[in-house]
């Protein structure tokens, strides 16, 4: 049974030191600081590493390791995430942390990993949801507004990229259907049944509605972030973004899908946890209007994409609930995998459909 497993800091330091001493990396470098997470295996693991090279040059690095003990998603698309981030950093103005190296051999840290430069700044918290606690509650409404709009602008820039010119076709998953909604529904139906073996009434109800109300996609698929939200942005002073993170679910589809997720996750972190939204964050109506300006066309079918967002997050939470059961954090008959904040918010949305 997979369980949280602490990583041995000294063994990790020794392994990384040996790995860095390869001639193609930083021979003679010394690791002067290493932060390891409390446990590993829930999703990809991140180590924070301070390194001093032989010539005295200092680097602050982050090592992202592929999932080892437990998978949140049925497919680990780790190398694809690395390849996409390399392309975005090299060929676009999307601010991603510079990628230094990729290691496909799991013998070093138990799984493949890549090393990127660590960007100083602050990330809105999920625990607690940033509308209820953490540094976002302590800044001014104007700074929150800047955070929201600046991240939205990056999202629109991503959607204006040419996937063919960037050669990112490796993100396509044709085994689940044609790029876009056919592929998304095919994949998430598979994911829903893989994630948790017990009842899933809300997810099934949402999937049935999505299949019955699937719109015609009126524009060619674009590159999607997949997890577009301010909780995946590193912010600097004044609420300006310094880098965007987490492309493990990047795919192709309509910009509306990313926009709906951007709005839905914020709604979950306020209404979904029975909290008021903080002052300064623009409304959904204002956000859609601004995104249309940035995109250069009206958005369509936002109700559908909101349900899709709720369905996807409900499936993800069912998998997290299953992890908690397998780790003995919950009783085996707990209803958490299908009765949680995400599923209850989706229920609310389904009940309000016109």
pTM (two decimals): 0.94
Q: Is residue 312 part of a domain?
A: yes
Burial zone of 326 (CB within 10 Å; 0-12 exposed, 13-18 middle, 19+ buried): middle
Whole-Å CA distances, 202 to 84, 199, 265, 301: 33, 9, 18, 21
Strand-pair partners of 335? none
Dump the DSSP string for 10-54: HHHHHHHHHHHTSTTS-TT-EEEEEE--S--SSS-EEEEEEEE-T
Do 207 and 108 reside in the same domain of the chain? no
Do 147 and 257 reside in the same domain of the chain? yes
Task: Report how far residue 214's alpha carbon sits from residue 181's, in angstroms, rounded to the nearest whole number.
Answer: 8
Q: Cβ(70)–Cβ(42) under 8 Å?
A: yes
Q: Cβ(118)–Cβ(210) under 8 Å?
A: no
Do 216 and 303 reside in the same domain of the chain? yes
Helix H or strand E segment including 224 = strand 222-224
Do 139 and 79 reside in the same domain of the chain? no
Do 107 and 157 reside in the same domain of the chain? no
Do 101 and 163 reside in the same domain of the chain? no
Q: Cβ(225)–Cβ(258) under 8 Å?
A: yes
> The tokens 């193609």 sit on which residue?
24
Do 40 and 98 reside in the same domain of the chain? yes
Q: Cβ(292)–Cβ(284) under 8 Å?
A: no
Do 112 and 226 reside in the same domain of the chain? no
Q: Is residue 150 part of a domain?
A: yes
**Cα angle at 191 between 333 and 7, to 5 degrees?**
75
Q: Is residue 123 part of a domain?
A: no
Dump the DSSP string for 149-169: HHHHHHHHHHHTS-HHHHT-G
By residue range, what is the domain housing residue 338?
Answer: 135-351
**Single residue among 51, 85, 117 that ends a domain in this structure:** 117
Do 270 and 297 reside in the same domain of the chain? yes
pLDDT reported for residue 5: 62
Do 109 and 159 reside in the same domain of the chain? no
Q: Is residue 153 part of a domain?
A: yes
pLDDT reported for residue 27: 94
**Single residue among 117, 147, 179 that ends a domain in this structure:** 117
pLDDT reported for residue 44: 72
Q: Is residue 128 part of a domain?
A: no
pLDDT reported for residue 31: 96
pLDDT reported for residue 3: 47
Q: What is the CATH number of the domain that holds 202?
A: 3.90.1200.10
Do 113 and 159 reside in the same domain of the chain? no
Q: Cβ(203)–Cβ(338) under 8 Å?
A: yes
Q: Is residue 139 part of a domain?
A: yes
Task: Report how far residue 253's alpha carbon sits from residue 20's, in angstroms, rounded to the nearest whole number.
Answer: 38
pLDDT reported for residue 2: 43
Q: Cβ(218)–Cβ(304) under 8 Å?
A: no
pLDDT reported for residue 1: 38
The count of domains in the chain is 2
**Single residue among 84, 117, 150 that ends a domain in this structure:** 117
Do 165 and 307 reside in the same domain of the chain? yes
Q: What is the CATH number of the domain that holds 80?
A: 3.30.200.20
pLDDT reported for residue 255: 98
Q: Is residue 157 part of a domain?
A: yes
Q: Take residue 290 and report the two structure tokens written for it.
A: 């601004």
Q: What is the mean pLDDT of each run of 10 residues along the chain (354 residues)?
A: 67 96 94 77 79 93 90 92 97 96 95 96 95 97 98 98 97 96 98 96 98 95 98 96 96 98 98 97 98 97 98 97 92 95 97 85
Task: Report how far residue 183's alpha carbon sits from residue 217's, in angstroms, rounded to the nearest whole number.
Answer: 12
Q: Is residue 122 part of a domain?
A: no
């Amino acid at each position: 049974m997979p369980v949280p497993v602490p990583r041995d800091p000294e063994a990790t330091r020794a392994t990384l030191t040996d790995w860095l001493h390869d001639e193609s990396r930083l021979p003679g470098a010394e690791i002067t600081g290493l932060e390891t997470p409390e446990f590993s295996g829930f999703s990809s693991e991140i180590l924070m590493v301070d390194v001093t090279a032989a010539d005295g040059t200092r680097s602050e690095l982050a090592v992202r390791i592929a999932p080892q003990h437990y998978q949140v998603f049925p497919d680990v698309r780790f190398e694809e995430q690395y390849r996409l981030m390399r392309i975005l950093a090299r060929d676009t103005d999307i601010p991603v942390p510079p990628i230094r190296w990729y290691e496909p051999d799991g013998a070093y840290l138990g799984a493949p990993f890549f090393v990127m430069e660590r960007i100083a700044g602050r990330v809105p918290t999920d625990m607690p949801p940033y509308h209820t606690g953490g540094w976002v509650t302590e800044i001014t409404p104007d700074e929150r507004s800047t955070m929201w709009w600046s991240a939205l602008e990056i999202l629109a820039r991503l959607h204006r990229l040419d996937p063919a010119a960037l050669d990112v076709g490796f993100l396509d998953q044709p085994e689940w259907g044609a790029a876009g909604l056919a592929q998304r529904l095919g994949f998430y139906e598979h994911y829903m049944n893989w994630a948790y073996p017990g009842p899933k009434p809300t997810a099934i109800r949402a999937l049935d509605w999505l299949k019955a109300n699937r719109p015609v996609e009126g524009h060619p698929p674009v590159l999607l972030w997949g997890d577009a939200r301010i909780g995946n942005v590193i912010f600097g002073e004044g609420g300006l973004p310094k880098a965007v993170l987490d492309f493990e679910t990047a795919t192709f589809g309509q910009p509306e899908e990313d926009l709906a997720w951007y709005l839905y996750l914020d709604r979950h972190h306020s209404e979904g946890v029975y909290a008021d939204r903080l002052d300064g964050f623009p409304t959904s109506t204002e956000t859609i209007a601004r995104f249309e300006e940035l995109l250069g066309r009206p958005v369509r079918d936002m109700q559908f994409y909101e349900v899709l967002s709720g369905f996807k997050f409900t499936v993800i939470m069912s998998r997290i609930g299953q992890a908690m059961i397998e780790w003995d954090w919950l009783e085996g008959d707990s209803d958490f995998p299908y009765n949680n904040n995400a599923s209850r918010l989706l229920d609310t949305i389904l009940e309000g459909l016109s």
